[in-house]
């Protein structure tokens, strides 16, 4: 997941290199020293990687331009990723979020690198408050077995 403009620029450059390499591969004379299946596997892998990079770029641009967003999270484990997306949608840089939380930018970078896995519940609540994140509801799965005490 792209979390800042620097990563966006790096990812965009990497996607450009993949596009160039694919174009060169397409325009190059047929290679006889490599089995056609290996060439196809290499091309398919590069195309797949390019698609992944383009999806990441598109998602970052969409979040950054949205201003507000409804971000669905399917589990508590996805909350950290949702907070990163909320920051991007709010138009805040990691540095701006850090300033609002009275933290160093590097701490926000570390939190976001692990999608807030190392953050305490209190810190998650602080981040959510600063980002004006509202949790609408919690759903209990009725298929969960109940144990007797």
12-43: pLDDT as tens digits: 999 999 999 999 998 888 888 888 899 899 99
Read off the pLDDT band of 147 (50, 70, 90). Answer: low
On whether the pTM is more than 0.85, the answer is: no
Scored b (16 or more CB within 10 A) or e, 131-147 reads bebeeeeeeeeeeeeee
87-136: pLDDT as tens digits: 999 999 999 999 999 999 999 999 999 999 999 999 999 999 999 988 87
N- to C-terminal Cα separation, the chain: 42
Q: Which of 50, 47, 31 has its CA nearest to residue 39?
A: 31
Q: Is 69 exposed, middle or buried (0-12, 13-18, 19+ CB in 10 A)?
A: middle
Place of tokens 């091309």: 43
């Amino acid at each position: 997941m792209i979390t800042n403009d620097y990563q966006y620029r790096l990812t965009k450059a990497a996607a450009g290199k993949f596009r160039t390499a694919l174009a060169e591969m397409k325009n190059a004379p047929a290679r006889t020293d490599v089995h056609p299946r290996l060439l196809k596997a290499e091309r398919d892998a590069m195309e797949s990687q390019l698609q992944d990079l383009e999806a990441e770029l598109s998602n970052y641009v969409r979040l950054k331009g949205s201003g507000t967003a409804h971000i669905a999270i399917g589990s508590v484990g996805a909350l950290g990723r949702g907070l990163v997306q909320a920051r991007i949608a709010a138009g805040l840089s990691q540095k701006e979020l850090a300033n609002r939380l009275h933290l160093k930018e590097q701490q926000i970078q570390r939190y976001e690198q692990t999608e807030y896995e190392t953050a305490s519940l209190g810190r998650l609540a602080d981040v959510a408050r600063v980002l004006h994140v509202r949790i609408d509801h919690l759903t209990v799965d009725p298929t969960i077995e109940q144990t007797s005490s």
